[in-house]
Each structure stands twice: as C-alpha cells, then as structure tokens.
Structure 1
C-alpha cells in the first residue's frame, strides 16, 4: 500500500475523532497499598480538580466512602476475593455486607457498581465456584433494600480468561469456564442490565513479544494497521483488538447484547531492566492517547456504537505493592499529588493535547494475540520465551500457600522438586516455588494472569537459574 493510500485511509478513520463528539467515560482506580498517601478528603479534592468524575476502589473503606459523600463522583466498590465464599454460601452475610457498605452511604455517596471479587479465575485460593452465587446474593441484597435498579453488580476478569484471541474475531472463553461460570454469569448480567468488567493491559503482550510488536501499535500512534482475517476489519491499536476478542467471545455464547466496562488498564512509568517499555514517556503516550480515543468515541471495529467506560490504573504510585518495580509505578500522581506526567483527562483537554512525539489519535503494526501474547507475522505465530519465578519478598507464608496451590489444584509438575529428584537442590522455598509457578505458567500457555499468585510471582525474560535445574518452556 502506498503512502498516499495509507494517509487517506487514516484520514477517513480519524474523522470521528476530529469532530470531538461525546464519547465514553474515563475513571481511575484508587489503590491504597502504600504508607505515604494523602488523606481520603485530599484525594477527593484532587479527583475533582483533575476533572475525574468516576473512581474505583478495591474495598469499601468507610473513610473513603465518607470522603466521597456529596462529591458528585461516582464510585465502584469491591467485595474482596477472600469474602466470596461467605457471600456465596450465606444470604445473611451478603445482606449485612450490602447494609454496612452500600445502604449506609447511598445516595450521598454515589455508588454505581459493586465489583464482586477481582480476577477470580487466577486467584490461587480457587474461589471460582463461589463467584456467580456471590454475585446473585449481593444483587438479591440490593433488591431487598430497593437499590438493584441503581447499583449494578459484576466482576472484573483478566484476559487470561480467553482461551483463544487471535484473530480477535475468533475470541473465545476458556472451555473449562464456559458452562460452570461464563454462561451463568452472562445470564446474570443480562437479567440485571449489567456490564462485563474486563482488565486489559496491552503492555504485557508487548513485553512478551517485543521482537514483533512495535510501540506504535501498543501506544495508539499512527501505523498502517492490521487486518483481522475473520472480519476484514483493520485494527490500529492493540487495546481495541483485546476488547474485541472479549466481545467476540461473548458473541460466541450468544451474549452480544451485554456491554463491557474496562475496569483496569494502564502503563507503568518505571520498571526493572527486563520490563520493556516501562518509562514515563511511554506511560504518558499510552494513557494520554487512550483517554483521547475513549472520550472522542467511536466504539471498536466489532462494536462501533460501544461507548466504553475505562478506568485507568492507577491514581497513585503505591510503594508497598509487591512484585517487580513496575507494580509500584503505575500512578498518574506521586503521593505528594504532583503529576508523574501530564495527560488529558477531560474532553476539553483532549482538544489541544499531543503526546511527547506530537502524535494525535491513531496506532501501530503487527497482529497480536491479546490474551496469550502471541503475534502473527507473515502467516506464522511466534511467541517470545518467558518464565515465571517466585517473588521472595512476599514472605514464606504466602509463598508456601501459592506453592501448595500450584502443586495441588493448579496441577503443576512438581515431581522434579521432590527430595532426590533433579530440581530438589537448592532446597529452598523460593527455588521450589519458582519451579512450580513456572510449570503452572507454561502449562497455561503463558497466559496473562497465570503468573501472579496474588503477587507471589512475576514474569522474567531470562531463564531462571537455581542450581543446575532447567526450567522448561513447554509441556
């Protein structure tokens, strides 16, 4: 395709953006795993001064909910994973939880949704079976108190819930989750008029395939686009491809009437040496271009009329988060409330904003498999080798619990770390956990979320070295 044809095509595709019509909505995740954050009342002032009118929290802390009272800011609260079993098995527990955490504050605090759990399918405590029953019991409690029409119930899923994602039009959910979880969940969402919550991070796919994915495709910068072989649609950014893979998976189950809310997405401003792409410049480009793309509307190729609500991750850098350096550097602001970088957060700001390279709306090159990190070039699928290792900073108790899960319900191959076997030495918890975590990760095709274990593990791009033990990349 010649330069003129590409330019003409891009101009046609950008016309909706240039009109700056009303589009979707931008919110932010207010995480608090830190010991140096400003008070909740100061945070609410920061949100209002920044033009942010939606916020998502990971609990239902009274200080935060009180500070949000009469602020006009809509809030999504969370029922943590560790409470799923109680909420699922005891109607009284769900009713009391809603009474204490919703009824006590609404309507002065504009609670608009309840996230029941977070990325439950990758929770090492195996809480998946409790998810939909807990959602129903929380909804029934809202019905009891007359709030079911005002407050929606859903649960954020990671993209690792997809079994197939390339081409995105062939997206499908993992087969073992369809009957026991996704079909009843979709029925519930349809019955209650709720949306599916999705956490999407293009940076993870980039890091796993940096040899074939350019920054431009991940950062919404100008590029020739990628054609989906199933639909013929041309994609100009990885974010849209990831979201359409989820839309396609829903359509495959005949639930194309259910909307999506992106409950987490973001890009770190700092990372370890192996965390490719983690920089202030790239974080500003991704988040800034994403905000512009959402606020100016247009939907996705599969759902052109879908005006997405997207929550950026996260409001602050959180200094107590475990894991690699990036985990502590996703914030838009430092705890001092100083901006880490400047991006637009309102439609008015979008009109004049350009990223550090002067780019307006658009995005980049190779075709990518959103969920698995695989990429397609010239008809071949290539996947860069990565491994999963234990995070020794999490402490022995958490590592041991995660190791027990991996070798038990996770069905990792733990025979090599048994006494007398090839990977028993060095006989340390971190070495044994790393081997088990990597086995689980590789058996799950290195899908996003399969190397997490609630912060007890992280992905590396160099082969781990524990004694003479080799860490496989396939089973």
Structure 2
C-alpha cells in the first residue's frame, strides 16, 4: 500500500513537472502583437471612417498616427482599436518651455476622445536626434510636461509617454552585444529620458528598417538574412548568441545599449518597420516580392511568439509602416511605396495580420500586382528633373555638374518640408555646413540652405533624375549659383572622385555611416573573415566612410 502510494505520488510529480515545463515553454513563446502606421501624406486616401472599417476587416487592432487629427480619432471611437497618437516635432519647443502648452494640448487632443477612443500612448516627437531643427535639448522637458498634463487629468494610468528613436542614436552596434548610445546624448538626454520611462513604466519606441541596411550593402548582407528566410545565421562574437535575421540584430543592438546604462527593465516597442514595394533603380531590393516576404515573415515571427535572442523573455510589439501608399511624400520612389494597401483599399500584396492567417500564409505575389502598381504608384516626386524653364538637364561628365538647387518659387512651406526631409535620417544629406557658425550658414536664407542640402542629397544619390525634384521644390542646373563662400562644385567633385576611386559607398554623412554599422551582420562576411577579423574589416570600412 505504501509502495502504491509512493508510485502514485511519483506519477503526480511527473505530470506536474511536465505541466510546468509546458507552461514555461508557452511563457517563453508569449505571442507578440502587430499594428500599423496610418500615415496620411496623400491626396487620394479613403476617409478615416472607411480606414477604420478596413482595419477591423483585417483584424488589425493597433494603429499609430502622426498627429491627433480629430476626424481620425472620432472614427476610431468605439472601434476597440488601440491608438498611439503623436505630438509633432514642431510642437516640442513650446511643450518643453510652457507647461501650459502641454496642458492645453492634452486637454484639446486627448481628453475629448479618451477612453472611447483607446489612446494608450503618446509619441512625443519623432526621431528627434536627426531633426534638422535641432530639438534634442527640448525632448525630455517636453515629455515631462506632457506626462504632468496626463497626471493632472488623471489619464496617466492608461496612457504612456515615449519618443521614437532611429538607429542612428547608436554609436556602436556591431556585434549587437556591443550596442551603445552616442556619448554626447547619454547624460543630457538618454539617461533623463530612461529615468522617466522607468518611473512611469513606459517603454522605448524604436524605428528599425533592415531595408536601408540591405539596400546600401546588398553585396555584403544576405537577402535571406534580411527577409527572415532560411540562412546560416550569424553568431555574435561578444556573447555567443545566434541571429537568424537582421531585424533581431538591430533591436538587440538597442537592447544592449539600454543594458549598458543599467536600464534593463525598460522594454522596446518597434513603432516603425517596413519594406517598400517599389523604388528607384538605386534602391536595391525595393520590390513587391521582397516587401511581401519581409512584412509577412515578420508578422509570422512576431505572432508565433518569442522575444529577441538577447531579450527572449519580452514579447515583440511591432507597427508596420505603412497602411497606405502615400503619393505626396518627399524623397525617392520608395517613400511613396511602403503601403500594405493602395488608396483603393486593394492589397499591394498578401500578408497575414492574425495568427489564424499565419498558419496558412505563403509568400506569393498578387497576379495583377504590376497593373495595380502602374495605376497607383506613379512617382509624384520622381521622374525626370527639369530646369527652371521646364527643359530637362542631362548629366555632365566633366565633374563640375550638374547641380541641384532650390526652387524658391515653390513657396516657403514646400521648401521647408523638403529641407527637413533632405537633412533628416531618411534623406541623409550632409547639412553640417549650414548650421550656425558653419562655413555655409551665410547667406542665412531658406533658399540658400535648401540648395546646399538638396545638392548634397543629389550628389549622394549619384545625380539620379529622381533625386532632384522634391515635389517641385528643386531643379537641376548646369552652372551652380553663387552662395557666399560656399562652393557647390566641391560636392560634385567629391562625388566624381569617389566614383573614380571605386569606393563602396558614395556618401559622407556620418549618420549614414553609423547606420550602416548597425546592420552589417552579414553571414558571408563573418564566414569569410572570422568574428575577430570581421571587426577589423568593419573598423577599416567605417574609417573610409567617415
């Protein structure tokens, strides 16, 4: 009888152990969540009401918007869709200097809609560290004042405050375990911000784009590694962790930077990531097949559970960029082709949005995709560049031109938007020379500064026709204008010199060089040189770039 009792006890113990093991497995594989960015820089999009119907029909229950547009927030009311709203960069200074502004902003843009519209976070600014208007110093004060306003209205328990970072905030990023924030940002911005995130139990918002890394380094980064396809993987020489995709490596580089500052308890939400379905010829990899593979495989990776190799206990929350193709965005063709849907509400390609769809999904381009692409993605800001008289200007082989200059007739607002894009993280123009006290700050006019920025962007893009238009805010000339002591021919000669020397990258912007470092987790390079040798290759490459 005693033996029988012991036997039954052992059986129960085994069953309990198995149950606990299964529970731990499910805990480790905690499914993540997927949302979308609802951008509206377009003139042909469906109404907000129709858009909410579209989101619900696809099973999408999380959305991020770039403002607090009343028509959108009203349409989302009662939809059970969780919303991240944004306080734009242009409002940061006022929100930082005047607590009354932040209080009024929350009163006007949050209080009337919450909780029927399920606002659960506020993105204060966006990629502020690369904002050409230099709003870095006011970021944390603005966040604190917005947080205080939420407390005043007793909304702080349900709404978090954060700010999206770009990967260019990192100083070191390869291998991922060596991730570190830029030294000059740590004390004045990073630590105070993370203190606030910790205190309020909020999270860091991160914008991560493996596409940029792959497109700039397609000869050294495996496409399969970038698209979550089967590949040998990359072993981090710092901690021995193995990475099967570039996305995880990018996110973990930021987690490593957070850990280095001892803020391990702060999690990351990826507020932007995506892959364009169309692009200029220089934008390698921008096509529907790759976009479908990246976004579809990312959704599967997120919804089937598990965190990153470095943060396996944290589930992934990701917002795809973007819901629609946006025909009024500045920049190269890709900027207008990140959408999952056309303005007609037809899918650009098939991807799953729910776990049930993931089970049966396979990457397969839509059969009528080409016709749809031609109908809906005509480059509004691309095409042949035109001179001031409307005639095209051919590329010169003399090394002295052509040049891209600002069209002052386009208006101040158009020029400013184009300048912000060119100098921002996505444009990557070298705008250091137009900062106060720098060589090309004078003449201190919008037209002169825009010309310097546009020409830098144009030369960096190899003088592609589509690189000098900016929605009509720029055009190509054969002879550069006189701008004080600035000489536009220097950019042109630098570009020709780089081509003649056969350099791998034709760009001088330090931000871009560092962004490349974030993503050089190439299986081919590591296999070829070994983990230690690869680090030396990376150091030499960064020296040449910067």
Q: How does the TM-score come out when normalised to structure 1?
A: 0.78
Of 427, 440, 445, which aligns to 2:481? 427
Q: Is the 8 A contact 2:430 2:508 kept in 1?
A: no
Q: CA, structure 1 residues 123+432, in 2 after alignment: closer, same or farther (shift >3 Å)?
A: farther
Residues paired across the two proteins, number: 403
User: Where does residue 241 of structure 1 map in the other structure?
Assistant: 249
Alignment of 1:278-427 (within 5 A): 278-356=286-364, 396-397=415-416, 406-409=432-435, 414=440, 426-427=480-481
Q: In the TM superposition, what whole-angstrom CA distance separates every residue of 1:421-442 from its partner, at most 9, and x where no partner exists?
A: xx99622789949949999953
Measured in 2, the distance between the counterparts of 1:444 and 1:21 equals 35
Q: Does 1:145 align with 2:153?
A: yes
Residues 434 and 272 of structure 1: CA distance in aligned 2, closer, same or farther (over 3 Å) = farther
Q: 1:446 aligns with which of 488, 513, 516?
A: 513
CA 1:23/1:408 → structure 2, altered by over 3 Å: closer, same or farther?
Answer: same
State the structure with bigger RCO (CA 8 A, min sep 6), 1 or 2: 1
Highest Rg: 1 or 2?
A: 2
The answer to whether residue 103 in structure 2 is matched with residue 95 in structure 1 is yes
Please state if 1:181 is matched with 2:189.
Answer: yes
Query: How big is each residue's C-alpha offset from its partner over 1:157-212, in whole Å with a ceiling of 9 and x where there is no partner?
Result: 00000000001001000111011100001000000000000000001111121111
In structure 2, the CA distance between the partners of 1:142 and 1:304, relative to structure 1 (3 Å rule), is same
Higher helix share: 2
CA, structure 1 residues 411+195, in 2 after alignment: closer, same or farther (shift >3 Å)?
A: farther
**Partner SS for 2:258:** helix
Q: Give the equivalent residue in structure 2 for 1:274.
A: 282
TM-score, normalised with respect to structure 2: 0.68
Map of 2:266 onto structure 1: 258
* Uncovered stretches (5+) of structure 2, i.e. residues with no partner: 1-23, 366-402, 424-428, 449-455, 457-477, 496-505, 518-542
**Are residues 446 and 413 of structure 1, via their aligned partners in 2, closer, same or farther at CA, if it must alter by over 3 Å?**
farther
> Residue 67 of structure 1: which of 69, 72, 75 is its match?
75
Q: Which runs of 5+ in 1 are unaligned?
A: 1-15, 358-388, 451-471
Equivalent residue for 1:453? none
Over aligned residues, Cα RMSD in angstroms? Answer: 3.4
2:471 is matched with which residue? none
What secondary structure, in the 3-state scheme, does the structure 2 residue paired with 1:205 have? helix
Q: Residues 50, 222 of structure 1: CA spacing in aligned structure 2 closer, same or farther, 3 A cutoff? A: same
Does 2:223 align with 1:197? no
Shift of residue 398, structure 1, vs aligned partner: 5.1
Q: Distance in 1 between matches of 2:489 and 2:100?
A: 38
Q: Which residue of 2 aligns with 1:43?
A: 51
Q: Distance in 1 between matches of 2:210 and 2:341?
A: 21
